[in-house]
């Protein structure tokens, strides 16, 4: 089994939490090679990850951040060059590998990854979960030029934080080249960097994966989150059997202690079990953000969404 993640020094600890959650829930199946594209990790940080998997069935295959490949790609807002690394999966991995699961570094695994590995892509290039917060290409932060690209308003938009990739199909579809061309052509309209690009160029070439494999930790299952526009029954079923929790967005549970939500406590427990001496930042900023998320967000979420929508300059 082959996995792929891209991390920098800011994501070493959360990546280790992900690794810990994965190794604790594995079935007795073939070994895992985890290809990790790193950007600026120290020898000590790499050694900590390697020591963690030393007595498991996981081996780490380090790959260096492809500076020369991403140097010419456009950046805006919070985008970093390393965010584009997953686009180059076809070059990073040898042609002898025909399937890989890409995993963001801000995930917590609650089920055996083997189940996801066995997903039938039925000829698609990738398998992914429809984004809970950005369910459609026409949603705020979706594809601003979706009409020009030939999409319908109700076409689904997937979250690229968890992807099952058929590498042969990926290369045959020229996904990398198409994504790069899209980023240059639509730079001024791009909201979410490579996630936008992949949604744009994989139209009709991705298949839906069960929502339980990419549950948005800060939103799904909370009182303020309305899933009616994104298949309420699907998300309700996923929440009953969660498999992968994705802490996307600004409020990361390793940065902000005591966040609200169903899984923040579970993440903090996993983090402190791995790093008993871990110290959260305690500042006015983190205290205010935590208080808002736990006590005020339910009431102020419509205003938050309005601000969020406006920040993407959408109609």
Condensed to tens digits (0 to 9), the pLDDT of residues 128-174 reads 999 988 999 998 889 999 999 999 999 999 999 999 999 999 999 99
pLDDT of 79 strictly over 60? no
pTM equals: 0.92
Residue 147, both tokens: 């009409």
Q: What is the pLDDT of residue 312?
A: 63
Helix/strand number for the chain, H first, E second: 12, 10
Residue 15, both tokens: 């990546």
What is the 8-class DSSP label of residue 296? Answer: I
Task: Say which residue, 295 or 72, is predicted with more confidence.
Answer: 295
Q: What is the pLDDT of residue 315?
A: 38
The whole-angstrom separation of Cα 228 and Cα 72 is 40
pLDDT of 82 strictly over 80? no
pLDDT of 220 strictly over 80? no
The whole-angstrom separation of Cα 245 and Cα 163 is 14
Task: Say which residue, 104 or 226, is predicted with more confidence.
Answer: 104
Q: Which of 82-91, 139-148, 228-237 has the lowest mean pLDDT?
A: 228-237
CB 217 within 8 A of CB 252: no
Q: What is the pLDDT of residue 303?
A: 79
Q: Tell me the pLDDT band of 254, cut-offs 50, 70 and 90.
A: very high
Q: What is the pLDDT of residue 233?
A: 77
Q: Which of 58-72, 83-97, 173-187 has the lowest mean pLDDT?
A: 58-72
pLDDT digits (tens, 9 = 90+) for 176-208: 999 999 988 988 888 888 999 999 999 999 999
Residues 6+ apart with CB under 8 A from 151: 137, 138, 143, 203
Residue 223, both tokens: 């009182």
Q: What is the pLDDT of residue 304?
A: 72
What domains can be seen in the chain, in order of their start residue?
A: 2-311 (3.90.550.10)
Instruction: Select from 8, 212, 72 the least CA-distant residue to 220.
Output: 212
Q: Which of 50-59, 85-94, 98-107 has the lowest mean pLDDT?
A: 85-94
The residues facing 163 across adjacent strands are 102
The helix (H) or strand (E) run that includes residue 245 is strand 244-246
pLDDT digits (tens, 9 = 90+) for 4-50: 999 999 999 999 999 999 999 876 678 999 999 998 899 999 999 99
pLDDT of 60 strictly over 60? yes
Query: Could you give the 3-state DSSP secondary structure of residue 107?
Result: strand
The mean per-residue pLDDT over the stretch 95-99 comes to: 95
Q: What is the pLDDT of residue 69?
A: 67
Instruction: Select from 50, 43, 61, 40 the least CA-distant residue to 19.
Output: 50
What is the chain's mean pLDDT, rounded?
A: 88
The helix (H) or strand (E) run that includes residue 32 is strand 32-39
């Amino acid at each position: 089994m082959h996995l792929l993640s891209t991390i920098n020094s800011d994501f070493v600890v959360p990546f280790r939490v992900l690794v810990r959650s994965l190794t604790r829930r594995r079935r007795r199946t073939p070994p895992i090679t985890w290809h990790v594209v790193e950007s600026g990790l120290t020898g000590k940080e790499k050694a900590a990850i390697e020591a963690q998997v030393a007595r498991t069935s996981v081996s780490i295959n380090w790959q260096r951040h492809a500076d020369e490949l991403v140097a010419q790609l456009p950046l805006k807002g919070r985008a970093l060059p390393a965010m584009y690394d997953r686009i180059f999966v076809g070059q990073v991995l040898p042609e002898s590998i025909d399937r890989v699961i890409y995993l963001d570094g801000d995930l917590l695994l609650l089920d055996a990854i083997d189940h996801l590995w066995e997903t039938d892509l039925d000829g698609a290039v990738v398998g992914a979960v429809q984004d809970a917060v950005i369910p459609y290409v026409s949603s705020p932060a979706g594809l601003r030029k979706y009409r020009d690209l030939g999409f319908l308003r109700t076409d689904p938009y997937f979250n690229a934080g968890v992807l099952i990739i058929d590498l042969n199909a990926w290369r045959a579809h020229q996904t990398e080249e198409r994504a790069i061309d899209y980023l240059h052509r639509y730079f001024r309209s791009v909201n979410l960097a490579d996630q936008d690009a992949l949604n744009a160029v994989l139209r009709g070439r991705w298949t839906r994966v069960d929502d339980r494999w990419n549950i948005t930790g800060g939103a799904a299952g909370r009182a303020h989150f309305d899933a009616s526009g994104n298949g309420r029954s699907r998300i309700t079923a996923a929440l009953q059997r969660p498999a992968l929790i994705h802490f996307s967005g600004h409020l990361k549970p390793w940065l902000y202690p005591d966040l609200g939500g169903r899984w923040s406590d579970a993440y903090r427990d996993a983090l402190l079990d791995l790093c008993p001496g871990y110290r959260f930042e305690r500042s006015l900023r983190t205290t205010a953000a935590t208080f808002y998320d736990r006590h005020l967000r339910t009431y102020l979420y419509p205003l938050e969404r309005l601000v969020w929508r406006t920040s993407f300059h959408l109609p």
